[in-house]
Amino acid sequence: MPTQQRVESAPDLTTDVVIDAAKAAGVCIRPLLRRVTDRATGQVTTVPIPCGSTRETVCPSCADRARRLRMHQCREGWHLTDDPPSPTTDDQADDELHLGLDLDDAHASDDDEDASRRARSTRRRQDAPELPRVPMDSRTTGRAFTDAKTGRTYRPSMFLTLTLGSYGKVIPGTGTPVDPARYDYRRAALDALLFPRLVDRFWQNLRRCAGYRVQYFAAVEPQKRLAPHLHAAIRGTIPRSVVRQVVKATYHQVWWPPIDRVVYDGDRLPVWDADASCYRDPHTAAPLTSWDRALDDLGADPDAKPLHVLRFGAQVDLKGLLGGTEDSDRAVRYLCKYLTKSVTETYARDHVDPEDRAVRAYEAHIDRLHMELRWLPCSPRCANWLRHGVQPMEAGPGLIPGACPSKAHDREHLGLGGRRVLVSRQWSGKTLTEHRADRATVVREVLQAAGIEPPDARRLAAEVLASDGRPRFEWADVPVLERDYTAAISASMRQRRAWREQYEAAKAAGPRAGPPTAPVDRHSATESAA
């Protein structure tokens, strides 16, 4: 909950100086300003609400706070010895890979979401090894091992890295193709767009073969060659041979209409017919093939092949780790290392000459991949299907090929349009919101133990009523012409500094008896020092 504070002007400070200082202090540099009126006293204060961005280029302070929260979430669930409960709120959708697939269904189809009504999709590929099915246990924790000599019990977990295959030779250390003309950008782009589906399939298969409800905290990151790969903390230990067998046997094939021929391009694009609710050829007025009809035609063709088949590469990196060790902490930091950067920023080099040949080659590599991604369909609802004479699923007016709103087509995401953090339902038994509240609770308890009463901005803002029974505090947007971000950020820095000093003093003092000495001014309360 943002905190109420009085914002005074700071005429001697420039915006650039304040922003640089805010970055160093960990204060949001682009807050949303809200005006709060105390109807009982008439006092008006301005409340800067942190922007909450997860991108370092937008707001380094909020992005770093989000990264640290994810690190906390990862640590808390990795080496549990007891099964945690499933989150009970809708907020769990914030923490999971959401593709409309049931990640816990050990008997899910081996192909895409249309498998249930098209028999072709249920057939397992003949070139994929079979997976064993073992009895399933409802536990989420791994096995415990006891040292016969010392009697000590160990419950190891794993750190796993999976990559995609090669699309052509690259220059070592740079990720730039040796010969861009022979590099398979089409396959690289489709792999990036559909990578989450392959990851879904892997977790389903791993649970089948592990025999328990494997829980994971995973991060999707690009390699230097820009192909996505997966780092995952896995609770419990599974034989390496089993994991490698699952990786080798996992695939995902996509039964979509073919995209080898462009039917409409440039200024000649299909037009929307509002009366018939369909897209038509701009010259003949013939309706485009509907999505369902296109799939039916595909299913009726005995020689049809899937549009794309995804597989992992041969490289599998797997380590066993124990909780509370430096190796485990290092793995957590590595998992969350790049969460504040976009795909194209991950390996960008600062302070380099843009005329440098290697820099130009890498930028050209990004541009070529982005060009493929811009025009390829990302889902059945993508506007790019119009280029190939197919009306997308649930089509409506305003679809323009090359302008699909999915982030996957953007240059900064390069196919990874979904969540970069994937967390299973029973990782820690808490939602991300609950983890955030836990961190704030730690600060409050330290302050209370030292005899300092922490602020309760939520009660002041949301629950306190005036004598007429209406909320005492009224919130409103600050008019554009009255927004003074320099003053607001400066006030946030002063309050953060004061609360940090108070928090550090409380930690050093430890618990003390007696009532609090100097009560906190609730109208100048800041967010927790954590």
Segment 467-510, tens digit of pLDDT = 777 888 888 888 888 888 888 888 888 888 888 887 788 777 76
* pLDDT, greater one: 518 or 77: 77
pLDDT tops 50 at residue 31: yes
pLDDT tops 60 at residue 236: yes
Residues 232 and 371 sit within 8 Å (Cβ to Cβ):
no
Tokens of 300: 């009726």
pLDDT tops 90 at residue 447: no
What secondary structure letter does DSSP report for 99?
S
pLDDT, position 435: 85
Average pLDDT in the 197-207 region?
Answer: 95
Give burial (CB, 10 Å; 0-12/13-18/19+) of 142: buried
pLDDT tops 70 at residue 90: no
Q: How confident is the model at residue 437 (pLDDT cuts 50, 70, 90)?
A: confident
* pLDDT, greater one: 431 or 94: 431
pLDDT, position 113: 46
In which element (H, E) is residue 192 found?
helix 185-210
pLDDT, position 309: 95
pLDDT, position 518: 37
pLDDT, position 140: 93
Give the 3-state secondary structure of 103-166.
CCCCCCCCCCCCHHHCHHHHCCCCCCCCCCCCCCECCCCCCCEECCCCCCEECCEEEEEEEECC
Q: How confident is the model at residue 88 (pLDDT cuts 50, 70, 90)?
A: low
Q: How confident is the model at residue 202 (pLDDT cuts 50, 70, 90)?
A: very high
Segment 256-308, tens digit of pLDDT = 999 999 999 988 999 999 999 999 999 999 999 999 999 999 999 988 999 99
Q: How confident is the model at residue 453 (pLDDT cuts 50, 70, 90)?
A: low
What is the DSSP pairing of strand 278-280 with strand 473-477? unpaired
In which element (H, E) is residue 37 found?
strand 32-38
* 398: phi then psi, degrees, rounded to nearest 5: 90, 5
pLDDT, position 352: 63
What b/e readout covers 501-519, taking b as 16+ CB neighbours within 10 angstroms? ebbeebeeeeeeeeeeeee
Average pLDDT in the 37-42 region?
Answer: 85
Segment 240-256, tens digit of pLDDT = 999 999 999 999 999 99
Nearest to 191 by CA among 170, 164, 209: 164
Bridge partners, residue 158, by sequence: 234, 320
Average pLDDT in the 342-354 region?
Answer: 73
* pLDDT, greater one: 191 or 461: 191
| C-alpha distances out from residue 244 to 119, 132, 239, 256, 303, Å | 29, 13, 9, 29, 32
Residues 312 and 160 sit within 8 Å (Cβ to Cβ):
no
Q: In this structure, is the dihedral angle defined by the CA atoms of residues 363, 369, 375 and 381, taken in order, positive or negative?
A: negative
pLDDT, position 348: 73
Q: In sequence order, what are the residues at sequence separation of 6 or more whose Cβ sits closer than 8 angstroms to the Cβ of residue 44?
A: 35, 36, 37, 38
pLDDT tops 90 at residue 86: no
Distance in angstroms (rounded) separating the CA atoms of residues 256 and 101: 17
CA dihedral 333, 335, 341, 345 (to 10 degrees): 110
pLDDT, position 118: 53
What b/e readout covers 205-233, taking b as 16+ CB neighbours within 10 angstroms? bbbbbbbbbbbbbbbbbbebbbbbbbbbb
pLDDT, position 79: 93
Q: How confident is the model at residue 463 (pLDDT cuts 50, 70, 90)?
A: low
Average pLDDT in the 213-224 region?
Answer: 94
Q: In sequence order, what are the residues at sequence separation of 6 or more whose Cβ sits closer than 8 angstroms to the Cβ of residue 471?
A: 39, 462, 464, 465
Distance in angstroms (rounded) separating the CA atoms of residues 5 and 526: 7
pLDDT, position 93: 39
What is the DSSP pairing of strand 216-222 with strand 153-154? unpaired
Q: What is the mean pLDDT of the chain?
A: 83
Tokens of 277: 């609710």
Segment 13-28, tens digit of pLDDT = 577 888 899 999 899 9
- Residue ranges covered by each domain of the chain: 15-57+433-524, 81-256+306-375+412-427, 262-304+376-408
pLDDT tops 70 at residue 99: no
pLDDT tops 50 at residue 526: no
Residues 176 and 251 sit within 8 Å (Cβ to Cβ):
no
Tokens of 420: 């970069």
pLDDT tops 80 at residue 100: no
Residues 58 and 51 sit within 8 Å (Cβ to Cβ):
yes
DSSP labels, 472-495:
SEEEEEPPGGG--HHHHHHHHHHH
pLDDT, position 515: 41
% of the chain residues with pLDDT over 90: 53
pLDDT, position 351: 54
Tokens of 81: 């010895």
List strand residue ranges (DSSP E) for 259-327, in order. 271-273, 278-280, 308-321
pLDDT, position 387: 96
Segment 405-415, tens digit of pLDDT = 999 999 999 99
Query: Which range among 97-106, 229-238, 359-368, 431-440 shows the weakest confidence by mean pLDDT?
Result: 97-106
Average pLDDT in the 103-115 region?
Answer: 38
Average pLDDT in the 341-357 region?
Answer: 76
Tokens of 436: 């955030």
pLDDT, position 452: 62
How long is the chain?
530
Tokens of 259: 């995209």
